[in-house]
Amino acid sequence: DIQMTQSPSSISVSLGDRFTITCRASQDIGNYLSWYQQKPEKSPKLMIYRATNLEDGVPSRFSGSRSGSDYSLTINSLESEDTGIYFCLQHKQYPRTFGGGTKLELK
Amino acid sequence: QVQLQQSGAELVKPGSSVKISCKASGYTFTSYDMHWIKQQPGNGLEWIGWIYPGNGNTKYNQKFNGKATLTADKSSSTAYMQLSSLTSEDSAVYFCARFNYGGLAYWGQGTLVTVSS
Tell whether A39 is within 8 A of chain B (Cβ): no
Cβ–Cβ of A43/B108 closer than 8 Å?
yes
Is residue B2 a contact partner of residue B106, using CB atoms and an 8 Å limit?
yes
Distance from CA of B105 to the nearest CA of A (A): 5
Cβ–Cβ of A91/B110 closer than 8 Å?
no
pLDDT at A36 over 80: yes
Strand order in the sheet with B68-73: B3-6, B18-25, B78-83, B68-73
Is residue A51 a contact partner of residue A65, using CB atoms and an 8 Å limit?
yes
B2-30 mean pLDDT = 98
Percentage with pLDDT > 70 across chain B: 99
With contacts defined as CB-CB under 8 Å, which chain A residues touch B97?
Answer: 43-44
Tell whether B33 is within 8 A of chain A (Cβ): no
Nearest to A55 among B44, B103, B109 (CB): B103
Alpha-carbon distance B93 to B7, whole Å?
Answer: 12
Nearest residue to B99 (alpha-carbon basis) of B52, B55, B64, B46:
B52
Query: pLDDT of A57-100, one tens digit each?
Result: 999 999 999 999 999 999 999 999 999 999 999 999 999 999 99
The confidence band for B57, taking pLDDT boundaries of 50, 70 and 90, is very high
With contacts defined as CB-CB under 8 Å, which chain A residues touch B51?
Answer: none
